[in-house]
Homo-oligomer: A and B are copies of this chain.
Amino acid sequence: MEKREALSKERLIWMYTQMLRIREFEERIKRTFIEHPGAIRGHSHLADGAEASIVGSLATRNETDLAMPTYRCHGYPIVLGSPAKKIMAEIYGRKDGLCQGYGGSMHLSDPAHHFPGTSGIIGQSIAHATGAALTAQVKKTGQVVYCFFGDGASKQGAFHESLNMASVWKLPIVYILENNGYQVYTHVSLEDANEAAGDPLSQKAQAYSIPGVTVDGTDVLKVYEAVSTAVERARAGRGPSLIESKFYRFSAHGNAITVPPVPTQFPEHEAIETYGRKAEYAAARARDPILQFRAKLTGNSTLSDEAAKKIEEGVRAEMEEVVQFALKSPFPAPEDALKYVYA
Contact = CB atoms under 8 A, between A and B. Distances in A.
Interface of A: 155-161, 163-164, 167-168, 190-194, 196-197, 199, 203-204, 206-210
Nearest to A199: B209
A204 B196 CA distance: 17
Contacts of A157: 156-158, 160-161
Contacts of A159: 160
B207 A203 contact: yes
Copy number in the complex reads 2
A110 to B, nearest CB: 30
A175 to B, nearest CB: 13
A196 to B, nearest CB: 5
A100 to B, nearest CB: 34
| Centre residue among A155, A164, A167 by max chain B CB count within 10 A | A164
Nearest to A204: B207
Contacts of A192: 164, 168
| Centre residue among A160, A163, A194, A204 by max chain B CB count within 10 A | A160
A242 to B, nearest CB: 10
A77 B61 CA distance: 57
Contacts of A209: 193-194, 196-197, 199, 203
A85 B203 CA distance: 48
A133 to B, nearest CB: 15
